[in-house]
């Protein structure tokens, strides 16, 4: 084990490896920052270029891309309310209000630091769990998966907070929209209206990018002005904010440890993506925040929760990918392709024969995260000035980026139509006070809940007992039920005390 | 007296009709696939009815909102309403103009492609809305498009050339429409 570690570490010090890491960082940050693109597109494009390359160097390139996409995506999410990738949507809720208050540099610095700690924690979790990964992954079958997703859906109620009825309506609409498409389990089409385009459902990237980015652009350009007014901008100390942002994260260890645990934990479970990790962590953070008045209105803890989980997820997702060939997230599926392209067979044999490659990936992720966060912090005072530029200078460029980015994912022009339609819909939702966050949760988690429920029922031959007889499922169910019931009981007791 | 049927009411009504149509179509699905639709659909529809009724009988909406707030919300106080409308909405003419730009850009891009339309869109918008000097606006549009299109070609992404009959091979027109 230590030989493999030493080999990977020594290779990492070579100029060629560092060059690959930096190239990956540049590609990943750029693709992350362009709305619509993300790690899947970046990895897919990089994959053929690595053909013929030495496997370890290719892994450094992939590590650079994977670790930097999240930070890249958080920058437009914070400064323009336009998430670079779907998982960065959760960062908008607190990042953008901070930028509006003239604290954009602080928010970007919080994101850069959170990405770093998340990445390190995710890697530590991976290293610690490598020897015992098998029982953990196999313990999660459809019933456990179902309760985990139901827990996420329950969070819709908490996410709605001061706008409960509209928030719950939004969650329901999100679930309804997610059901569009072909169901392979029952060979049946739902709401496709004879369209081939809708066979795969409403595509995630155009939907989320449209809902957040296009709707914000409509709002942004119609309103005019800038994220931060010029008179306020004159008093801002951008460089000073960077240090404040770093300290914001370092002084809240509980927040990032919790977010890292959630991110890495969700990453390990195959099938759940980065968006689920970011939103779950965001809502758990909401329940335990030390600044409830600010959460959702410019709380650094909100950014820490989403961005740390986003990066910690990468380490967790790597575990089932290398140990069993089960991709923990969609970008890990591309990485799986990369392993096979380079003659590496993921699974027990990889753990036995190619531990150096696994360590190279893990060390590469940490090293490139150091580069990403370091360069990000250096560039933060400059990046944050974007929030001072007049919105009508920025809006057309961002719209062009959204169009091109959305088109590039599948080179399907109708994805751009979908993004614009989602954008107009999103604008109306915003205007009339329906929280976008609950729609996205319903849209992402709805089909996962349905699928795991139906799979469980097929396994148990129609018996609902499967949801309570497995120990982990039972624990998750009790946790979910407690999450629903504890506030009700507390409210009753509170009312009883008031009456007496 | 302020009309009770405002934009919010009409939009909520539209959402209700959408859910209702979804529920009607769901009756043709296999039984197992109706579970999620019915569970989400009927709950949402009931809440939409509360919102609609709230336009005429505000106490119904107030009671429901307060009851839900007592259970899971912020106890009636606005403790960080996530993503709620925080600022005054811009006037409709400005909003429609912004939507018009986006839809116009989309339709022209569909017809003429990503080589021709983005620089024209960028220059037009910058001149008309941002009051940028024409020369700078045109330069910005051309440079930004050149970077994006070159970037796409470098990573072997086929740049959308527009659906009109081919004028310049690979650049303007002649794109193959994906199945709709």
**pLDDT for position A335:** 82
Give chain A positions within 8 Å (CB) of B37: 176, 179, 190
Encode pLDDT of A47-61 as tens digits. Answer: 777 777 888 888 888
Judged by a CB distance cut-off of 8 A, whether residue A423 touches chain B is yes
Q: Is the pLDDT of residue A241 over 90?
A: no
Cβ within 8 Å, pair B80-A442: no
Q: Is the pLDDT of residue A113 over 90?
A: yes
Q: Is the pLDDT of residue A230 over 70?
A: no
User: Of the candidates A186, A393, A397, which has its C-beta nearest B33's C-beta?
Assistant: A186
Into how many domains does chain A fold? 1
**For residue A369, is it within any domain?**
yes
Identify which has the larger pLDDT, A131 or A198. Answer: A198
A174 min Cα distance to partner chain B (Å) = 9
Tell me which of A145-154, B50-59, B146-155 is least confident.
A145-154
**pLDDT for position A419:** 92
A486 min Cα distance to partner chain B (Å) = 9
Find the mean pLDDT for residues A84-109: 87
Strand locations in A69-226 (E): 181-183, 188-190
A146 min Cα distance to partner chain B (Å) = 13
Which residues numbered 160-179 in A keep a CB inside 8 Å of some CB on B? Answer: 160-166, 168-169, 171-173, 175-176, 179
**pLDDT for position B44:** 94
pLDDT band at A499 (very low <50, low <70, confident <90, very high): low
Find the mean pLDDT for residues B68-89: 55
Find the mean pLDDT for residues B95-115: 94
Encode pLDDT of A156-167 as tens digits. Answer: 776 666 678 888
| Contact between A318 and A114 (Cβ < 8 Å) | no
State percent of chain A over pLDDT 90. Answer: 12
Cβ within 8 Å, pair A431-B89: yes
**pLDDT for position B84:** 44
A126 min Cα distance to partner chain B (Å) = 32
**pLDDT for position B76:** 43
What pTM did the predictor assign? 0.80
**pLDDT for position A314:** 82
Distance CA A346, CA A325 (A): 5
Find the mean pLDDT for residues A310-338: 77
pLDDT band at B78 (very low <50, low <70, confident <90, very high): very low
**pLDDT for position B101:** 94
**For residue A274, is it within any domain?**
yes
Q: What mean pLDDT, rounded, does chain A reach? A: 83
Token pair for residue A174? 């999100």
CB pairs A-B closer than 8 Å = 246
CA atoms within 13 A on the CB side of A402: 37
Alpha helix locations (H) across A140-214? 142-160, 164-178, 204-209
Tell me how far apart the terminal alpha carbons of chain A are, to the nearest angstrom.
Answer: 66
ipTM of the complex as predicted: 0.91
**For residue A177, is it within any domain?**
no
Which residues numbered 251-280 in A keep a CB inside 8 Å of some CB on B? Answer: none
Mutate to test the interface with B, among A65, A164, A288 (most CBs of B within 10 A): A164
Identify which has the larger pLDDT, B164 or A130. Answer: B164
Mutate to test the interface with B, among A48, A81, A158, A190 (most CBs of B within 10 A): A190
| Contact between A72 and A37 (Cβ < 8 Å) | no
Distance CA A365, CA A320 (A): 17
Domain range for A296 is 2-140+185-206+231-398
Encode pLDDT of A246-265 as tens digits. Answer: 998 999 898 889 999 888 88
Query: Distance from CA of residue A355 to its chain's centroid?
Result: 27
**For residue A160, is it within any domain?**
no
**pLDDT for position A354:** 80
Going from the C-alpha of A64 to that of each of A19, A43, A85, A220, B152, the distances in angstroms are 10, 10, 17, 33, 21
Which of A50, A51, A41 has its CA nearest to residue A23? A50
Q: What mean pLDDT, rounded, does chain B reach? A: 85
Q: Which residues pair with A390 in a beta bridge?
A: A226
Print the SS3 string covering A2-56: HHHHHHHHHHHCCHHHHHHHHHHHHHHHHHHHCCCCCHHHHHHHHHHHCCCCCHH
**For residue A498, is it within any domain?**
no
**For residue A79, is it within any domain?**
yes
**pLDDT for position B72:** 66
Cβ within 8 Å, pair B30-A186: yes
**For residue A287, is it within any domain?**
yes
**For residue A404, is it within any domain?**
no
Which positions ≥6 away from A343 have C-beta within 8 Å? A55
């Amino acid at each position: 084990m230590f030989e493999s570690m030493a080999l990977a570490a020594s290779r990492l010090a070579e100029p060629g490896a560092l060059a690959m890491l930096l190239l990956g960082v540049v590609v990943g940050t750029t693709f992350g920052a362009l709305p619509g693109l993300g790690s899947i597109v970046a990895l897919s494009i990089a994959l053929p270029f690595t053909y013929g390359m030495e496997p370890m160097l290719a892994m450094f390139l992939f590590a650079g891309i994977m670790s930097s996409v999240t930070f890249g995506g958080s920058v437009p999410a914070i400064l323009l309310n336009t998430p670079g990738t779907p998982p960065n949507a959760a960062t908008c809720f607190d990042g953008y209000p901070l930028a509006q208050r003239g604290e954009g540099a602080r928010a970007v610095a919080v994101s850069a630091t959170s990405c770093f700690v998340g990445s390190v924690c995710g890697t530590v979790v991976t290293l610690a769990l490598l020897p015992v990964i098998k029982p953990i992954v196999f313990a999660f079958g459809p019933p456990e998966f179902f309760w985990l997703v139901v827990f996420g859906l329950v969070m819709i109620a908490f996410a709605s907070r001061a706008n409960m009825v509209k928030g719950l309506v939004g969650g329901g609409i999100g679930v309804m929209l997610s059901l569009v498409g072909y169901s392979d389990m029952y060979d049946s089409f739902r709401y496709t209206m004879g369209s081939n385009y809708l066979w795969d459902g409403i595509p995630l990237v155009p939907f989320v990018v449209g809902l957040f980015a296009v709707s914000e652009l409509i709002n942004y350009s119609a309103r005019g002005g800038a994220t931060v007014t010029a008179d306020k901008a004159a008093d801002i100390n951008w460089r000073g904010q960077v240090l404040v942002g770093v300290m914001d994260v370092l002084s809240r260890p509980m927040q990032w440890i919790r977010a890292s645990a959630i991110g890495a934990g969700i990453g390990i479970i195959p099938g759940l993506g980065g968006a689920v990790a970011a939103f779950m962590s965001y809502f758990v953070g909401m329940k335990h925040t030390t600044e409830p008045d600010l959460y959702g209105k410019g709380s650094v803890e909100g950014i820490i929760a989403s961005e740390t989980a986003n990066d910690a997820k990468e380490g967790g997702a790597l575990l089932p990918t290398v140990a069993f060939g089960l991709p923990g997230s969609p970008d890990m599926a591309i990485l799986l392709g990369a392993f096979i392209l380079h003659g590496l067979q993921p699974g027990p044999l990889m753990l036995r024969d190619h531990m150096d490659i696994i360590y190279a990936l893990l060390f590469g992720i940490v090293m490139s995260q150091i580069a990403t966060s370091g360069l990000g912090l250096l560039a933060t005072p400059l990046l944050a000035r974007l929030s001072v530029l007049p919105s009508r200078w920025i809006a057309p460029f961002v719209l062009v980026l959204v169009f091109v980015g959305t088109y590039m994912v599948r080179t399907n022009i109708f994805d751009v139509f979908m993004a614009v339609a989602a954008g107009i819909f999103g604008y109306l939702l915003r205007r009339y006070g329906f929280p976008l966050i609950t729609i996205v949760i319903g849209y992402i988690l709805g089909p996962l809940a349905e699928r795991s429920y139906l799979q469980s029922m097929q396994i148990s031959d129609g018996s609902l007992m499967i949801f309570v007889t497995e120990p982990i499922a039972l624990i998750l169910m009790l946790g979910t039920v407690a999450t629903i019931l504890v506030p009700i009981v507390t409210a009753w007791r509170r009312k009883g005390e008031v009456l007496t | 007296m302020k009309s009770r049927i405002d934009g919010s009411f009409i939009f909520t009504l539209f959402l209700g009709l959408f859910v209702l149509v979804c529920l009607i179509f769901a009756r043709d699905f296999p039984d197992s696939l109706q579970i999620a639709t019915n569970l989400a659909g009927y709950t949402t529809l009931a809440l939409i009815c509360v919102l609609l009724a709230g336009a005429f009988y505000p106490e119904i909406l107030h009671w429901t909102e307060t009851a839900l707030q007592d259970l899971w919300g912020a106890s009636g106080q606005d403790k960080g309403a996530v993503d709620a409308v925080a600022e005054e909405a811009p006037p409709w003419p400005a909003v429609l103009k912004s939507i018009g730009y986006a839809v116009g850009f989309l339709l022209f891009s569909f017809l003429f492609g990503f080589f021709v339309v983005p620089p024209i869109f960028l220059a037009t918008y910058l001149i008309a809305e941002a009051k940028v000097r024409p020369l700078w606006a045109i330069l910005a549009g051309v440079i930004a498009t050149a970077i994006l299109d070159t970037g796409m070609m470098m990573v072997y992404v086929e740049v959308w050339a527009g659906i009109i009959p081919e004028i310049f091979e690979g650049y303007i027109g002649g794109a193959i429409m994906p199945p709709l």
